[in-house]
Every structure is written in structure tokens, then in C-alpha cells.
Amino acid sequence: MKSAVIPQIRVESALRADLDSVLLPGETLTDFVEASVRNAVEYRRMQTNFAARCDASLAKYERTGVSIPAVQVIDKLESMLAKRRKQLGG
């Protein structure tokens, strides 16, 4: 697969210095930029998917008038959080 190039951007020297100061040992500027772009793309993808689910949920509610009580939603979220904390050993 042929690779593509991300355009260069000009930044203030202070931002470049800040960037250089947070690079991990052995990490290159290219590594950092690629990881940052990948993270930003994934974040945007999650935002878009979340918004689509919200729109679909609202449309369903408007169509049916049926919703889940907030207490039930919060209980489920707290349960998911507790499970994840247990998985992480916290």
C-alpha cells in the first residue's frame, strides 16, 4: 500500500518548543504527529457516532413517546463504571 503525506504546517516557535519538550525518549516528531492525528480521527469518529445515536434515540422517543427513566440509565452507567474499575484493579 502506498503511503500518503500529511501537509506541513507552520507553528509558532513556542509551540514547537513545547512539543519538543513533551516527546518521549526515542519518540520522533513524526511519531507524535502521526499518533496525534490518529487519536483526533478516532475522537471525531466517536463524536459522529455518538451524535448519530443521540439523533436516532430522540427520533425514536418522538415517534413512540417511550423513554428510559434517568435513574435506570444512571444505575446502568454506574454498574458499567464499577465493572471497568474492577477490571483495571481499582
Burial of 33 (0-12, 13-18, 19+ CB in 10 A): middle
What's the pLDDT at 2? 83
> What is the percent of the chain where pLDDT is above 90?
94
What's the pLDDT at 84? 96
Q: Count other Cβ atoms within 10 Å, centred on residue 20.
A: 10
Phi-psi region of 50 (alpha: psi -120 to 50; beta: other; left: phi over 0): alpha
Maximal CA-CA distance, the chain: 56
pTM of the shown model: 0.71
Question: Residue 1 above 90 pLDDT?
Answer: no
Phi and psi, residue 42, nearest 5° = -65, -40
Question: Residue 87 above 80 pLDDT?
Answer: yes
